[in-house]
Structure 1
Amino acid sequence: MTSAQTSHPPAGAGRESGPGPDPEELQRSQENAVMQMLDVPAVADELAARFAARGHRIYLVGGSVRDALLRGTGASDRDSGDLDFTTDARPEQILEAVRGWADAVWDTGIAFGTVGLRRRDQVIEVTTFRADTYDGRSRNPEVRFGDDIEGDLIRRDFTVNAMAVELGERRFVDPHGGFAALAQGLLDTPDLPERSFADDPLRMLRAARFVSQLGFTPADRVIAAMTGMAGELSRITAERVQAEFSKLILGAHPRRGIELLCDTGLAQHVVPEVPAMQLETDEHMQHKDVYTHSLVVMEQAIERETDGPDLTLRLAALLHDIGKPATRRKEPDGRVSFHHHEVVGAKMTRKRLRALKYPKVLIDDVSQLVYLHLRFHGYGKGEWSDSAVRRYVTDAGPLLERLHRLVRSDCTTRNRRRASALQRNYDGLEDRISELRKQEELDAIRPDLDGNQIMELLGIPPGRAVGRAYQHLLALRMEQGPLSPEQAEAALRAWAAGNL
């Protein structure tokens, strides 16, 4: 296979029965066609000129090339943003080449051959050809620099990321058929997948991420290797797993990525609570299992996003029912119940997201959404009191809009009349919330007297008694709505008479 293969020759090429196109000419025409799709930024040419002047070759490589080709074919408007280059220059030679040209340089990755830099508004990474070996027990490689682009590309994770453009000669380098794979939407590895995944097991999770982000289909041998090597993911730190999982969840097709994780067994090492839902039957008896229902809820939540992908909402939608397996009960009438699964699920969600090292704010928000997602079903036909509506809003706090989207998405019944009734009921709840907001600024409910006023009226110093009085007045506000100053003072004195 040549170092510039872009696609397979046409059927019949090379047969003895008749003259065919010259292979080298065909290859050049394919390269030219590919190069026309690539919009190489001016900053890349500037960098190439500096390396060429010092006798070095430099290539645009990896996701930069992949995404440029996707844009060129109209398959995606995805832009990877940063530019990645690889070169035969050693790290110290890279530093010399960019000195005086780069606006900023950082060498935190120089031990691995990588120099980062910024030129105007463009962030760039330049890495020396690599030919690492791994010990098979950790992610730490024995760093060895390579001498040619072909040896570097075979180390890449997938063929669609193993394409390069030699900038000096404008030569397209594709020794592993990455362009053909890109056209087919096929995800395969340049080397044997078992060898590639043994080098870095995170690549298996990255495969699911690319399925989600780009809609690719993994090759059969990739799926087989992922299934057989799923346990190797335990070698990877939680932080790196979390980063890939978040990108998967935020992709255009997260359901496909989650299904691949579950089908291959990788989910057992990332979010084992998700495949565990495959064993359960939803209480509405309208879905194959809770797992399928949860994936549908996630898809419906995505449809309700208004400001781009929302990691908090998507995680809450995926995990909202993970408490069902632990709470499953068969009732005397034969129906299946999952009482308090939202309480159990919120605790499980918190534990899983902590294990994945998510930030505390995100953990709190997702867990609270899981905890609150079922509360609306007590609303019935609108019989909630104003105080119940206030509590719903207060408990949701800044998550209220997300809670609206999650609750509406949780309606997946195929019974159109029931689905319409549920949506109408929620319409009614939102209308009541809107009216109460107009009346009393519901988003910032506070007692009618603050702490200083409580201490002044009761003649008491700061302490627990002030907090108890404050909570009493807050409960009154929730139950009765705003009180006049006279009513609030009378209520405070009445409480104090029996509690101080």
Structure 2
Amino acid sequence: MVKMAEALERLQSLAGSPIVRRVSTAFADAGKELSLVGGPVRDAMLGVPVHDYDFTTDASPDEILAIVAPLSTAHWDIGREFGTIGARVVAGEGEDAVADTVEITTYRADAYDGVTRKPVVAFGDNLEDDLKRRDFTVNAMALRVPEVRLVDPYGGVEDLLDHTLRTPSSPETSFGDDPLRMMRAARFASQLGFHVADDVQDAMRAMAESIGIVSAERVQVELSKLLCTAAPTGGIRLLVDTGVADIVLPEIPGLQLEIDEHHHHKDVYEHSLTVLEQAIDYERERHPGEAPDLVLRLAALLHDVGKPATRKLEPGGAVSFYHHDIVGAKLAKKRLRELRYDNDTIKSVARLIELHLRFFGYSEGAWTDSAVRRYVRDAGPLLERLHMLTRADVTTRNRRKAERLAFAYDDLEQRIAELAEQEQLDAVRPELDGNRIQEVLGIPPGPEVGQAYKWLLELRLDEGALGQDEVERRLREWWARRSA
């Protein structure tokens, strides 16, 4: 719970920090207003460490630049069109000096055309109007500096205390200005653990299709931010429940398969959310303190998206999803491309989905060393992520089954570690390179060299390291058989 007295004390501390004090004093000396706004104010009141210094002012971009240039080691105006100037500000001297990045934006009073979501940029002349155009009341609070006065014209403090997300203007107006705010509602609900007000949810349901006018790049950024929150499943549920996910990520609501009265199977949607939660738990357990793993989280959320397309009702009440791993990898790749994810992310997520069922063959019967080597080879640099995804994919309530699968994967990881120690498994390659293959077989460069290399790799995977003399002998025998 947020205690008001402690929250105000934290605001005083924020206003008194060296960077804020130096910037605010410079603006006051220039006769200009300055306020910390949005995230820094909200986070300070919640007791969350403040990492971003976002200011707003009545100064024009040219005036902002003139004021901050003497305070900074670097400054940039990439957002100048929208009134934003960034700078690296230094406060203090010698060993006591501190430096941090600040962004300072002129008051805005934008208008929107409601078709392309591109604002007609217009600068405003007062703080209250600037706050009204922000997304949620908890982000529409400002802290005047250097005098330290909280400005909250739209009830952000009350909503902060109630852990509620509301919009400063009507939600229909706010989402009409920028439909992406519907996704931001889901992200902040997950990030802050807040409830989204009923009227805001109603507006999301009524206006869900308008998210279609937002660029794929902006949707992708917001989806990634949601997935990288501490507990993203609440936000995902909100997007699904309001219909927004039907537009931006339809594969997820598509997992809510109808249950036939005679054919019963797990709820794939709920299972996928549980897998995401468990993958995050493994991520934190194995890599504490590290940044969220977006690739792992995307793969966990999307790992079963091939099930609706491969669902088959079998005689006797069974339900099968044959090859849903392969189909799911293709569907995930298509969706992530449409959302403009980078090629490395797309390739990694699709590969994890394609491989996520491979382990279950191990649990049904012991693998040979050759099969373990192939598992590692196929996973490549994604092996650690595949470990976490595969473990997270076990959501059965049957305790004995869960324990059996966990024991089997412990055993597999142990065998991988032992083989890696013996053979440097993570860098498995034939014992002969292409040049030596040509020398041994007396052949020129060409496709035959590649075929021989591939055969030697299979030999290495099957039998491990054999030594160069033995490998050359085997290669000559293979070539003779092939030629015959």
Deviation at 1:382, TM superposition (A): 3.6
What residue in structure 1 maps to residue 29 of structure 2?
53
Q: Of 412, 417, 425, which residue of structure 2 is paired with 1:442?
A: 425
Distance 1:482 1:31 in 2: 64
Which of 102, 106, 113 is the equivalent residue of 2:72? 102
2:169 corresponds to: 191
Cross-structure match for 2:19: 43
Query: What is residue 360 of structure 2 aligned with on the other side?
Result: 377
Q: How does 1:12-411 map to 2 (within 5 A)?
A: 35-36=11-12, 38=14, 40-71=16-47, 77-79=48-50, 81-120=51-90, 121-279=99-257, 287=266, 289-305=267-283, 306-307=286-287, 308=290, 309-411=292-394
Structure 1 range deviating more: 338-347 or 426-435: 426-435
Secondary structure at the residue paired with 1:333?
helix
Contact 1:61 1:86 in 2 (8 A): yes
Q: CA deviation at 1:297?
A: 0.7
Distance in 1, matches of 2:263 and 2:439, equals 56
1:3 corresponding residue in structure 2: none
Q: What is the deviation of 1:373?
A: 0.6
Measured in 2, the distance between the counterparts of 1:387 and 1:32 equals 64
Partners in 2 of 1:394 and 1:142 — Cα distance? Answer: 53
In the TM superposition, what whole-angstrom CA distance separates every residue of 1:115-174 from its partner, at most 9, and x where no partner exists?
111113311111111111111112221122211111111111100011111103211101
Mapped partners of 2:413, 2:444: distance in 1: 41
Partner amino acid, structure 2, of 1:458:
L
Distance 1:195 1:464, change over 3 A: same
| Cα distance in 1, alignment partners of residues 10 and 88 from structure 2 | 28
Change (3 A) 1:380 1:112: closer
Separation in structure 2 between the aligned mates of residue 365 and residue 358 of structure 1, nearest angstrom:
11
Cα shift readout 1:36-73 (whole Å, capped 9, x = no counterpart) = 464542211211222112211111111111111111xx
Contact 1:382 1:425 in 2 (8 A): no
Contact 1:115 1:125 (C-alpha < 8 Å) held by counterparts: yes
- Between 317-326 and 475-484, report the one with greater CA deviation: 475-484
- Does the aligned pair in 1 maintain the 2:36–2:144 contact within 8 Å? yes
Give the C-alpha shift of residue 383 in structure 1.
2.5
1:415 is matched with: 398
Separation of aligned partners in 2, 1:480 and 1:96: 71
Deviations along 1:283-303, one digit per CA (max 9) or x if unpaired, are: 99563x100000001111111
Structure 1 stretch displaced more, 33-42 or 194-203: 33-42
Give the match's secondary structure for 1:312. Answer: helix
Given that residues 57 and 168 in structure 1 are in contact (C-alpha distance below 8 angstroms), is that contact kept between their aligned partners in structure 2?
Answer: no
By how many angstroms is 1:281 displaced? Answer: 5.7
Deviations 1:156-209 (A, max 9, x none): 110001111110321110111111211211001001111111111111111111
Query: Contact 1:230/1:264 (CA < 8 Å) preserved in 2?
Result: yes
Pair 1:168–1:438, CA change in 2 (3 A): closer
Note if contact 1:31-1:172 (Cα within 8 Å) is conserved in structure 2.
no
Q: Distance in 2 between matches of 1:65 and 1:375?
A: 48
1:20-45 CA distance string (max 9 Å, x none): xxxxxxxxx99966744645422112
CA distance in 1 between counterparts of 2:190 and 2:239 reads 11
* Cα displacement string for residues 306-346 of structure 1 (whole angstroms, at most 9, x for unaligned residues): 32321111111111100000000011222000000000001
Unmatched 5+ stretches in structure 1: 1-5, 9-28, 72-76
Shifted more, 476-485 versus 335-344: the winner is 476-485
SS at 2:146's partner residue?
A: coil
Name the counterpart of 2:96.
none
Conserved 8 A contact 1:327-1:338: yes
Give how far 1:367 is off: 0.7
| CA distance in 2 between partners of 1:462 and 1:473 (Å) | 17
Write the distance in 2 (CA, Å) between the matches of 1:472 and 1:34. Answer: 66
d(CA) in 2 for partners of 1:178 and 1:259?
Answer: 25
* 315-324 vs 435-444, which moves further: 435-444
Deviation at 1:433, TM superposition (A): 1.6
Letter in 1 for 2:70: G
TM-score (norm 1): 0.89
> Normalized against structure 2, the TM-score is what?
0.92
AA aligned opposite 1:465: E
How many percent identity over aligned positions? 55
- The CA deviation string for residues 53-102 of structure 1, in whole angstroms up to 9 with x for no partner, is 2211111111111111111xxxxx343x2211111112222122223222
Question: Residue 7 of structure 1 contacts residue 179 of structure 1 at CA under 8 Å; is this kept in 2?
Answer: no
Given that residues 159 and 187 in structure 1 are in contact (C-alpha distance below 8 angstroms), is that contact kept between their aligned partners in structure 2? yes
Contact 2:363–2:409 (Cα < 8 Å) also in 1: no
SS across alignment from 1:304: helix
**Structure 1 residue 485: deviation in Å?**
2.1
Q: 1:103 to 1:377 in 2, by over 3 A?
A: same
**Residues 1:179 and 1:171: Cα distance change in structure 2 (over 3 Å):** same
SS in 1 for 2:101: strand
Q: Counterpart of 2:36 in 1: which secondary structure?
A: strand
Per-residue deviation at 1:217?
0.8
Secondary structure (helix, strand or coil) at the match of 2:88 reads strand
Coordinate RMSD, CA, aligned: 2.2
Q: For residues 40 and 187 of structure 1, do their structure 2 counterparts lie closer, same or farther at Cα, with a shift above 3 Å needed?
A: farther
Query: d(CA) in 1 for partners of 2:135 and 2:114?
Result: 16
What is the alpha-carbon distance in structure 1 between the residues aligned to residue 408 and residue 369 of structure 2?
15
CA contact (8 A) 1:102 1:117 kept: yes
Asked whether the equivalents of residues 105 and 117 of structure 1 are also in contact (C-alpha less than 8 Å), the reply is yes
